[in-house]
Amino acid sequence: MRIKNSNFVDYVKIFCRSGKGGAGSAHFLRDKTTAKGGPDGGDGGHGGHIILRGNEQMWTLLHLRYKKHIFAEHGGIGSGNHRHGKDGDHQVIDVPLGTIARDAETEEVLCEITDHGDEFVMVKGGMGGRGNAHFKSPTNQSPRYAQPGIDVIEGWYILELKVLADVGLVGFPNAGKSTLLSVVSAAKPEIANYPFTTLVPNLGIVAYRGDRSFIMADIPGIIEGAAEGKGLGLRFLRHIERNSTLLFMVPADSDDIAKEYKILLGELQKYNPELLDKNRILTISKSDMLDEELIAEIKEELPTDLPSLFISSVAQQGITELKDLIWKKLNE
């Protein structure tokens, strides 16, 4: 997904071509002391690979937005005196952790990069051809042929980033997700009083009691029908697939908190039923506008199959209790 004037890019389609293997040499030994020597042709060099490498310092696929074609170097041809051709240089593509590579034609998932320094050969270079020295035998002592190198592999590939975070914030637009992230972490998401202020995911590191911490992800708001592509649709639902805990946020001024929660849960179930197996927490945000009597009434209507909290990011109410609950869920 690419939003105008945004540096966050989580989906790119690139054309990759590996290097062709160098041809083997059909050379015969010739020097001042040997007029008719035997075959001494060397092997061709190996074609370069296209390699994906995980880099924890990167958080977006922005560097590939305008680099649509990536070609590895071809292998060099073999030569006399059994000299091996030069191996083609590999093309290494650094990608952020959480990147998935898939074949654009078949939609087959090729790899998933989750650790720093992880490398995966996405497109293999061609093997170099063997020189004529490999083909001599008692019945064929002067083979005048050698193998050609293996040809290139080329095609379109899709790189897709799924944000790696411990906690994902799930809620309708304008539910207070970005405000909560800005309060509990040093992240500075855009905050305004209108729907879809957040257009790209934001990550923040939340400090917790001493030197412990966890990562929280704020994704654009989900609306009813998101699993069918409404609003910002499926593009951002994939970012919560890797979160171990889902924090549902429903504002206190909502007409029906339980109904909104069920709608959110239903959208996640339509998109991927496995998301319902994750830890869930329900928070009622903007609760500083409620008095004790209203809070007691709302509590009676809340779902009983998950823990719930009343919080106010602006008034700093319930934030410590929320961190405690999240940490408990992360370590269950």
The answer to whether the CB of 19 falls within 8 A of the CB of 39 is: no
pLDDT band for position 43 (50/70/90)? very high
Q: Could you tell me how many residues make up the chain?
A: 332
pTM for the complete prediction?
0.71
For residue 282, what are its two tokens? Answer: 């329900």
Q: Which amino acid is at 324?
A: D
Question: Could you report the per-residue pLDDT of 151-191, keeping only the tens digit for each?
Answer: 999 999 999 888 778 888 888 887 778 888 888 887 666 55
Cβ 220 vs Cβ 232: under 8 Å? yes
Beta pairing, strands 279-285 & 245-251: parallel
Which CB contacts under 8 angstroms, 24+ apart, belong to 253-258? 253/286, 253/289, 257/284, 257/298, 257/301, 257/302, 258/301, 258/302, 258/303
Domains in the chain, ordered, with CATH?
1-161 (2.70.210.12), 167-330 (3.40.50.300)
Strand order in the sheet with 167-171: 202-208, 212-218, 167-171, 245-251, 279-285, 308-310
More confident residue, 197 or 97: 97
pLDDT value, residue 6: 54
Tokens encoding 208: 């917790």
Residues 105-157: pLDDT tens digits? Answer: 998 999 999 899 999 999 999 999 999 989 998 888 889 999 999 999 999 99
Rounded Cα distance, 144 and 132, in Å: 7
Q: Model confidence over 17-31: pLDDT tens digits?
A: 999 999 999 999 888
Q: What confidence score (pLDDT) does residue 159 get?
A: 93
